[in-house]
Amino acid sequence: MRRAGRVRSSCCAERISETDTNVPKKEKVISNEEPVDEKPRETTVEFLASLAGVLVTGLFIITFVLQAFEIPSSSMEDTLLIGDHVFVNREQFALPTHWLGPLMPYRDIHRDEIAVFMSPEQPGLFLVKRIIGTPGDHIHLRDDVVYRNGEKLVEPFVRHKRQEHNPYTDNFPALPPSEAYGVRNEKWAQEMPSHIQGDDIVVPPDNYFAMGDNRDVSYDSRFWGFVPRANIIGRPMFIYWSFETPDNQYEMRSMGDRLGFLAHIIIHFFDETRWSRTLRIVK
């Protein structure tokens, strides 16, 4: 009986010993990773402060650097169409200041550039035309062709869409301005002869001579005179959106007409947007 007990206990000891060898020992794992500090969450006050900063920056850019304009008439076709919405660089043509002049990209207006400016004839009205003459330039037209400083201009951007011709505009300034030719600005009718030298009209200092690309319908410097430098707003940069718009839409000023056209835009946004003109550079 004792021997059997010894054998049984020996077997148990051997089994326990074999089992112990198969049990993995716990080892202490040493990590080389450095503790990562958790980023504190943004508080409501900090979020509102960041949002206010973005809004102020955007407002500054829209007010002083870029401004959105809509083209209301056909005087610049086919370069700009009715319903084109453009961003205008207000800073480039601005009058330089003494303390910001060296830091800002100010420059003079070049010939044949497109500019947005305040109408010299109707205060509060924005116009967009092409600058044909700069201070000191001699300008005249013969048979609807522009001559600048004695040189015939090649203007691929010009369009003639009407068959009838106006002898006053086609041969400017050979004929005196009159209401019969569409000149309604009495001040310009009296002032224009003083700027004529020979066959040309001479652009005075700090002024510009502007005309639309759609020459036959453009109401421009031939009808109301020069554009003062102080009236220049900026240069159109690109078209950010273009929508098919009726010719007389800019004359619809009542609230009902505006709301009606707004509803029309919402309904026909996708099928009447001129997608091919989106982000087109104006030149």
Confirm whether 48 is domain-assigned: no
The domain total for the chain is 1
Confirm whether 72 is domain-assigned: yes
CATH code of the domain covering residue 146? 2.10.109.10
pLDDT digits (tens, 9 = 90+) for 194-240: 999 999 999 999 999 999 999 999 999 999 999 999 999 999 999 99
Pairing status of strand 232-242 against strand 114-118: antiparallel
Q: Are 101 and 82 in contact (CB under 8 A)?
A: no
Confirm whether 25 is domain-assigned: no
pLDDT digits (tens, 9 = 90+) for 20-46: 445 445 444 444 555 555 666 778 877
Confirm whether 106 is domain-assigned: yes
Confirm whether 51 is domain-assigned: no
Confirm whether 223 is domain-assigned: yes
Confirm whether 50 is domain-assigned: no
Give the N- to C-terminal CA distance of the chain in Å, as an integer: 115
Q: Are 229 and 207 in contact (CB under 8 A)?
A: yes
At 49 the pLDDT is 74
- Among 36-50, 96-110, 261-275, name the most confident range: 261-275
Alpha carbon distance 265, 269 (integer Å): 5
Confirm whether 61 is domain-assigned: no
Q: Using the predicted structure, report yes or no on whether residue 61 has a pLDDT greater than 60.
A: no
Range of the domain at 101: 67-281
